[in-house]
Amino acid sequence: MDQNIDKMRQDLARAAYAQQTQTEYVKVIERLRAKFERPVATLSRDQVRSFVDEVMARQRSASTKARDLAAIKYLYEKTLGRPEMVSFVRYPKQHPKVMAVLSLEEVNRLLQSIRHPVYQAIAMVLYGAGLRVSEALVLEVSDVDGERGVIHVRKGKGGKSREAKMSPALHGWLQEYWDRCRPAAPYLFASRTGKPPIGPSVREAVRKAATAAMIKKRVTPHVLRHSFATHLLEHGTDVRVVAHLLGHASLASTMRYARVTEKLVRETPSPLDLLPQRRQR
């Protein structure tokens, strides 16, 4: 057992990385250790370079390769404090993914198709407040502030906390869910045994609901957050406000949501329409 892998696992947890990310990062480093059958702290720069070359040669997507490289860089830069070991690492170019956006009617059909009250309430929060699924699953009952109309997100990306807007409609949904399910304290979304659901089960519930709602797009929990942001931008909400609601540290992250949508295309006038009307002879 490599103690430095355990240290990295602890560092990732302290930095509030998503559980799935922690798991995938550790898997990469365990592969690195297994390749040379030596503790990762004793590897040479050439050995690390060899493993990086192996990562880049695998028939995987650019995003998967970038994640694996990020794990290696995290180990040497953060946990071991030896950034010179990975100074040569360069991330592969990634073409930005065009994520699906649901229409308002599709969102309504999707939410109505989720029969399980816990999963339905989670989906309501993902779309109604724009939360990440990892943020929603750790919400506690005390994080819902009905009087102020906010949800306190204590474990956002990078460990940063923020306040997400909670509309009266969302508050009403959560009250109805609470009255119906009475989840075990302290979590807002939990079974009667006190255990909150896990990410994969939420993704499966959303996928099945999309099929039941006859939505042809690939729908994931993150699509609900993406639709939340896109719908706000389409209705004229300032991008800086959307960035704050999403918990983005940079506007560049938010601008990914400000893509050209069919709605904006339909509503954009032709320059010809702006010309003075010709008189009829």
Active site residues: 132, 157, 222, 225, 248, 257
Distance CA 257, CA 222 (A): 12
Q: Which of 121, 214, 201, 208 is nearest to 169 (CA)?
A: 121
Coil/strand/helix, residue 119: helix
Eight-state DSSP code of residue 77: I
User: How far apart, in whole angstroms, are the C-alpha atoms of residue 18 and residue 195?
Assistant: 17
- C-alpha 129/C-alpha 124 separation (Å) is 8
254, 242 contact by CB (below 8 A): yes
Residue position matching structure tokens 């949904």 = 173
From residue 31, give the alpha-carbon distance in Å to each of 2, 183, 195, 215, 270.
Answer: 12, 40, 31, 39, 56
DSSP codes of every residue in 31-54: HHHHHHTS-GGG--HHHHHHHHHH
**32 touches 50 (CB < 8 A):** no
Count of beta carbons in the 10 Å neighbourhood of residue 255: 14
Q: End-to-end distance of the chain based on CA atoms, in angstroms?
A: 90
